[in-house]
């Protein structure tokens, strides 16, 4: 396995019209979840990927496994739970980014615990990719994440971490103390400027100073995603930046960050240099934002290869 990841996938009900959900009559149903998205994005790029989770014994749980199987993601570590698969709604307004409303408390994935982590499965990976969402789902999920990290570190498996801070799951004041141990335990951190400010508790610092502070916590590589502003990869000796792919129409930015991670890690695992890995990350992120679902726009390897040197963020 090239990448092993773990987390929650949910049914996502996307409003068909803007405005408060109480007035919305029609929803498009999708399936999404940060690590689920990444697993699909990487698998489409030819990277062997496995996803650890639990789903409900319900229609959405079946759909989640069916999608992953169709995309070529290994689901051997996806257990069943008596609890329902989680659910969330996406609301659009004229001015702000889409807002999400979760119905995931006590969900199937939140029952994941350390006993669900098979050491051999983690040891088989080249990268263990985690986000800050999973350890916030329950105490069991948090213990499972730490068990996976410990196994990976002991086995020399690289740990990749995206804080993916969700303020509906954690209070702002708790962010630095909660996230710093994960940053310290990771080899690769994939994050954003705003997230670095929150985690470091430093609202005034410039990007380069924040990157240095992140590196000082422990990871060897910090990648900073800035959407339309491109991305930067920073190590102790190098700072590489790459412009974003131009996008004609932004439909929904959610899912772009996971797509970026899938592209960047796929380049990295192919042995590409930081510049080209950033470029592949930017391409997958750009492909994501033209569609409503999180992962549906991600390119397959044939499209990615064709677009990578053309500099256009459209898959056709
Ligand atoms: O990164 C996209 C995710 O935020 C979305 O798919 C939902 O996983 C999700 C979450 O927990 O917010």
**Residue pLDDT, tens place only, 156-212:** 999 999 999 999 999 999 999 999 999 999 999 999 999 999 999 987 889 999 999
Q: What is the pLDDT of residue 277?
A: 97
Whether 145 and 133 have beta carbons less than 8 Å apart is answered as no
Once rounded to an integer, what is the mean pLDDT over residues 61-77? 98
CA–CA distances in Å: residue 275 to residues 232, 242, 283, 298:
9, 7, 12, 20
Residue having the nearest C-alpha atom to atom 1 of ligand 1 = 34
Q: What is the pLDDT of residue 288?
A: 92
Out of 8-12, 33-37, 239-243, 285-289, which region has the weakest mean confidence (pLDDT)? 285-289
Picking from 212, 116, 200, the residue whose alpha carbon sits closest to that of residue 163 is: 200
Q: Which two tokens stand for residue 204?
A: 């005034």
State which H helix or E strand residue 282 sits in. Answer: helix 274-288
Ligand 1 binding pocket mutation candidate from 166, 285, 288 (most atoms within 8 A of CB): 166
Distance CA 142, CA 133 (A): 10
Distance CA 128, CA 126 (A): 7
So which residues are the catalytic ones?
A: 258
pLDDT beyond 60 at 281: yes
pTM over 0.85, yes/no: yes
Residue having the nearest C-alpha atom to atom 5 of ligand 1 = 33
Once rounded to an integer, what is the mean pLDDT over residues 217-240? 96
Share of the chain above pLDDT 70, in %: 98
Once rounded to an integer, what is the mean pLDDT over residues 128-143? 98
């Amino acid at each position: 396995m090239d990448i092993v990841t773990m987390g929650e996938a949910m049914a996502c009900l996307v409003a068909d019209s803007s405005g408060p959900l109480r007035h919305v009559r029609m929803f498009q149903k999708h399936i999404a979840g940060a690590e689920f998205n990444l697993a699909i994005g990487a698998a489409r790029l030819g990277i062997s990927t496995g996803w650890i989770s639990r789903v409900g014994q319900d229609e959405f749980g079946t759909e989640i496994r069916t999608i992953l199987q169709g995309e070529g993601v290994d689901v051997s570590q996806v257990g069943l739970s008596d609890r329902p698969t989680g659910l969330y709604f996406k609301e659009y307004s004229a001015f702000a980014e889409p807002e999400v409303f979760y119905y995931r408390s006590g969900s199937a994935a939140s029952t994941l615990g350390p006993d669900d982590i098979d050491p051999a499965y983690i040891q088989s990976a080249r990268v263990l990719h985690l986000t800050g969402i999973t350890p916030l789902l329950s105490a069991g999920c948090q213990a499972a994440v730490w068990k996976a990290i410990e196994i990976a570190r002991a086995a020399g498996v690289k740990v990749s971490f995206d804080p993916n801070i969700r303020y509906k799951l954690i209070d702002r004041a708790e962010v630095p103390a909660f996230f710093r141990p994960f940053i310290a335990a990771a080899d690769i951190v994939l994050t954003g400027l705003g997230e670095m400010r929150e985690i470091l508790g430093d609202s005034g610092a410039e990007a380069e100073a924040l990157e240095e502070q992140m590196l000082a916590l422990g990871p060897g590589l910090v990648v900073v995603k800035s959407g339309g502003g491109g991305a930067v990869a920073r190590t102790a000796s190098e700072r590489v930046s790459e412009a974003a792919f131009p996008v004609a129409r932004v439909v929904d930015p959610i899912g772009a960050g996971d797509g970026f991670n899938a592209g960047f890690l796929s380049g990295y695992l192919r042995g590409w240099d930081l510049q080209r890995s950033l470029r592949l990350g930017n391409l997958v992120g750009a492909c994501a934002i033209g569609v409503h679902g999180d992962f549906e726009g991600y390119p397959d390897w044939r499209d990615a290869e064709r677009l990578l040197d053309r500099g256009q963020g459209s898959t056709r």
